[in-house]
Amino acid sequence: MRVLGIDPGLTRCGVGVVEGVPGRPCKLVAYYVVYTEPDEDIALRLRHLDESLAKLVAEHQPESVAVERVFSQHNVRTVMGTAQASAVAILAGARARLPVETYTPSEVKAAITGSGTAGKAQVTSMVTRLLGLDKPPRPADAADALALAICHIWRGGTRARIAAAALAAARRTGARR
Q: What string of pLDDT tens digits covers the 177 residues of the chain? A: 999 999 999 999 999 999 999 988 999 999 999 999 999 999 999 999 999 999 999 999 999 999 999 876 666 777 888 999 999 999 999 999 999 999 999 999 999 999 888 999 999 999 999 999 999 999 999 999 999 999 999 986 556 566 666 777 777 877 655
pLDDT on residue 164: 61
Given 7, 50, 101, 144, which residue is catalytic? 7
Q: Do 17 and 149 touch, CB atoms closer than 8 A?
A: yes
Given 50, 101, 141, 144, which residue is catalytic? 141
134 catalytic, yes or no? no
Residue 15: its H or E element: strand 12-19
Kindly list the distances between the CA atom of residue 6 and the CA atoms of 113, 161, 163, in Å, as whole numbers in the listed order.
Answer: 18, 22, 23
Given 50, 68, 101, 144, which residue is catalytic? 68
Question: Is the pTM of the predicted complex or chain greater than 0.75?
Answer: yes
Q: How far apart are CA 127 and CA 135, in angstroms?
A: 10
pLDDT on residue 174: 74
pLDDT on residue 56: 98
107 catalytic, yes or no? no
141 catalytic, yes or no? yes
Q: How many CB atoms lie within 10 A of CB 55?
A: 13
Q: Do 66 and 101 touch, CB atoms closer than 8 A?
A: yes
pLDDT on residue 158: 58
